[in-house]
Amino acid sequence: MSNDAMPAQVANVQDAIVEPDSQTDSPREQIAPRASAPEAPVSDPAMPTASAARQGLSVTLEKLRAFYGSAEQVKGIDLEFRANEVTAIIGPSGCGKSTMVRCINRMHEEIPGAHAEGRVLLDDDDVYGDGVDVVAVRRAIGMVFQKPNPFPTMSVFDNVAAGLRLSASGRGGRGKADLHAKVEAALRDAGLWDEVADRLAEPGAGLSGGQQQRLCIARSLAVEPEVILMDEPCSALDPIATLKIEELIAELKQRVTIVIVTHNMQQAARVADRTAFMLSGELVEVGPTQDIFTNPHDPRTEEYVTGKFG
């Protein structure tokens, strides 16, 4: 099955052309944006949301191992993150959750001396395959970090636009209006637009902690990834900001696949469809969140979720 390349002006929901679900595309073909035909767009159709035309992809880890030098931190993991679902990774400190997640968008290897083995399949493509370029991987798989880190020299607008400008391939003229539309769309998707619409030129670092983190989410959304990895995104935020972001996650999963690392089990219970429990670099158990917390199979899982250790 093949898809035609989309014309350039497809940013608006009204103009979105409904395409058949193309998750079984052969890897060699151009993958076009898809409209979520069965699901109604969450926001008012009159407002531009570029991402309503997209869906997430699944990510599958096969025998993933991660090393710092010769020390093995992640010891062979097979795990699937289903498309358009939120999967939470829980486990005690030092169990390798963050390391594993950073292997997915190949940030792990940015650390000197660190490397990974195994396969990470984005849909059907191995991100560690030969000839694969890490830069392209990271455009498809975005990341939100623990500590909000908007670029300090940039305004709110420029922060969100940064992803687009930094990863611009130079092909296809990107008009100013187009850029504005994308920035606004991303900010709306991140639930931040109403709060910053009149402050777009102010420094990004001037926002509150929760707003900064949503700004970072908007920044990641602007490049329209298929997957977003979140590494303890709320651990530096107050409860109200945390709540807002958890609500956001529930909305976003319609458009992207979300993997969230968290040491807060209640958070996992609140936002995740599926939960994976890791211990000492290994995957102990994975399953629907309800099951993991109320009826775990592995005794270690039960000990952890009941708080016997942590």
Partner 1 sequence: MSAQAPTSPQFARFAVSPARRRKDRLARGLITAGTAIALVPLILVVYYLLKKGLGSWSWSFFSTDPTGNTFFKTSSIGGIKSAILGTVEIVALGSAIAIPIGIGVAIWLVEYGRQSWFAQLVRFFVDVLTGVPSIVFGLFIYIVLVVGTGSSYAGYKGSLALSLLMLPVVIRSAEVILLLIPGSLRESALALGAPRWKVIFRIVLPTALPGMVTGILLAIARAAGETAPLLFTAATTRNTDFNLGHFMNSLPVQIYNDVTSPTTSVVNRAWGAALTLVVMILLLNLIARLVSRRSRLT
Partner 2 sequence: MPSGERSTLERSPLARLPDRTLKYGLTLLAGLILALIVYFFIRLVDEARPAFAHAGVFGFTFNNDWNVSGNKFGALPLVLGTLITAALALLIGVPVAVATALYANELCPLRLRGLLTVLVELLAAVPSVVYGLWGIFFLAPKLQGAEQWVADRLSFIPFIGGGTVTIPNYFVAGLILAIMILPIVSAIAREVMATVPADHKEAALGLGATRWEMIRTAVLPYCRAGIVGGAMLGLGRAIGETIAVTIVIGDAPQLGKHLFGQGYSLAAVIANEFGEATGLHRSALFAAGLVLFVLTLLVNGLARVLVSRASRTRGTSARPRAASETQPIAEAVVGA
Chain residues in the site for partner 2 (CB under 8 A)? 5-8, 10-11, 27-28, 30-33, 50-51, 53-54, 122, 125, 127, 129, 131-133, 135-137, 139-140, 169-170, 172, 174, 178, 224, 226
Q: Is 138 in the site for partner 1 (CB under 8 A)?
A: yes
**Contact of residue 142 among partner 1, partner 2, none (CB under 5-8 Å per partner type):** partner 1
Chain residues 218-247 in contact with partner 1, contact rule CB under 8 A: 219-220, 223
3-state secondary structure (DSSP) of residue 117: strand
Element (H, E) at 63: strand 59-68
Residue numbers 148-167 binding partner 1 by CB under 8 A: 149, 151-153, 162-163, 165-167
Kind of pairing between the strands at 59-68 and 71-81: antiparallel
**Among partner 2, partner 1, none, partner that 68 touches (CB below 5 to 8 angstroms by kind):** none
Strands across the sheet containing 114-122:
71-81, 59-68, 114-122, 125-126
Side-chain half-sphere of 82: how many Cα atoms within 13 Å? 11
Nearest to 11 by CA among 213, 164, 230, 150: 164
Q: Is 147 in the site for partner 1 (CB under 8 A)?
A: yes
| DSSP per-residue codes, 280-305 | TTEEEEEEEHHHHHHS-SSHHHHHHH
Nearer to partner 1, 35 or 141 (CB): 141
Choose the one of partner 1, partner 2, none that binds residue 45, judging by a C-beta under 5 to 8 angstroms depending on kind.
none
User: Which residues, at least 6 apart from 291, have a Cβ–Cβ distance to it below 8 Å?
Assistant: none
Of residues 6 and 205, the one with the C-beta less far from partner 2: 6
Residues 22, 2: Cα–Cα separation, whole Å: 8
The helix (run of H) or strand (run of E) holding residue 218 is helix 209-222
When the beta carbons of 131 and 307 are compared against partner 2, the nearer one is 131
Pick from 120, 77, 76: which is nearest to 227 by CA?
Answer: 120
| Interaction partner, residue 163 (partner 1, partner 2, none; CB < 5-8 Å by kind) | partner 1
In the list partner 1, partner 2, none, the entry touching 5 (Cβ below 5 to 8 angstroms by class) is: partner 2
DSSP code for 153: T
Interface with partner 1, residue 206, by CB under 8 A? no
Which letter does DSSP use for residue 233 in this model? T
Question: Is 127 or 279 the residue whose CB approaches partner 1 more closely?
Answer: 127
Shortest Å distance, C-beta 107 to partner 1? 6
Site for partner 1 in 112-131 (CB under 8 A): 112
> Look-up: residue for tokens 């998750």?
23
Q: Which two tokens stand for residue 143?
A: 């990341």
CB of 154 to partner 2, least distance (A): 21
Q: Least distance (Å) from partner 1 to the CB of residue 153?
A: 5
**Given the structure tokens 């929901």, which residue do they identify?**
13
8 binds partner 1 (CB under 8 A): no
- Determine if 68 is a binding residue for partner 1 (CB under 8 A): no
Distance CA 71, CA 81 (A): 26
Q: Which does 143 bind (CB under 5 to 8 A by kind): partner 1, partner 2, none?
A: partner 1
CB of 174 to partner 2, least distance (A): 6
Q: Do the beta carbons of residue 25 and residue 43 sit within 8 Å?
A: no
Q: Which parts of this chain interact with partner 1 (CB under 8 A)?
A: 105, 107, 110, 112, 135-140, 142-143, 145, 147, 149, 151-153, 162-163, 165-167, 216, 219-220, 223
